[in-house]
Amino acid sequence: MKKANLLMVPFLMVLTLLWACCKTDDPGKPEPSGKLIFNFLHYCDGSPMIFDTTMYVNEAGNPYQVNEIQYFITDITLHAADGKKVVLNKENDIYYVDTDLPGTHKWQVADPVPAGTYTGVSFTFGIPQAKNQSFMYVNPPESNMVWPEFLGGGYHYMKLNGKYVDSVLRPFNFHLGIGQIYPPNSHNYDSIIAFVHNDFEAILPNSGFTITKDQVINFDIVMNIDEWFKDPHTWDHKLMGNYTMENQDAMQKMKENGYNVFTAGTIR
């Protein structure tokens, strides 16, 4: 009997370990969550932008029109009431928006959003340095956003193309991406001494919301295009020229104006 009892001890230990492992691996009930759909809207002077018509006047007094806008946003982040941050779509966190492609104006986020109260939403405008890798897009439209290798590689953060009136209608290419620092009195590509990554965090004012279990929320993100040209820098197309690439001073002003460009629209 004593021998039989001794043999039972390791058997019982194995059963105990198996039970403990099964209990640990049991995921239990999933946390309650909902879904988010982001809608990207483009406004000017408080109303939906009307493209391809010279009906707007910027802060510097330049009559202008916008023909197209393409841009990337990255790392949309929800800020929870308890201070935690929820980064959406970690596996596919770079999103492309194109005013000529209506299919890009709505992003149905794949990740479930934990139910709860969020005080606001933020995101990176452009693509941060660690993720802005050359040749990661092989197909258009994203591949058309390529930024030249000799200027830092990767991709444009934004192309905003239009025209302004200067006795005649002149084109402008308001492009934001990686900037370059040159030595004094030189603008030779071989002499570039540093690159500047001009992506920035956009924090949406009044963007708090509460989401409950199984709820689907539509969240409008509004680009206020007139803000690119007025605060804190008054943008005069006649003085700034027709394009901004290779001009870090111009792109720095764009970046600083960009902090006020995005707002939260309707959350429903």
| Residue 191 pLDDT > 60 | yes
Average pLDDT of 122-135? Answer: 97
Give CA–CA dist 225/161, Å, rounded: 12
Task: Give percent of the chain above pLDDT 70.
Answer: 90
Average pLDDT of 3-15? Answer: 44
Amino acid at 106: K
According to the model, what pLDDT value does residue 188 have?
Answer: 79
What's the pLDDT band for 18 if we cut at 50, 70, 90? Answer: very low
For 168, 236, 260, 264, the CA distances from 120, given in Å and listed in that order, are 44, 33, 15, 9
What are the sequence ranges of the domains in the chain?
A: 34-267
Amino acid at 216: V
What's the pLDDT band for 30 if we cut at 50, 70, 90? Answer: confident
Average pLDDT of 80-84? Answer: 92
Give CA–CA dist 42/208, Å, rounded: 21
Residue scoring higher pLDDT (90 or 244): 244
Residue scoring higher pLDDT (89 or 157): 157
| Residue 10 pLDDT > 60 | no
According to the model, what pLDDT value does residue 28 have?
Answer: 64
CA max distance for the chain = 109
According to the model, what pLDDT value does residue 178 have?
Answer: 98
What's the pLDDT band for 154 if we cut at 50, 70, 90? Answer: very high
According to the model, what pLDDT value does residue 254 have?
Answer: 98
Give CA–CA dist 229/244, Å, rounded: 13
What's the pLDDT band for 27 if we cut at 50, 70, 90? Answer: low
What value does the mean pLDDT of the chain take? 91
Check: CB of residue 220 under 8 Å from CB of residue 246: no
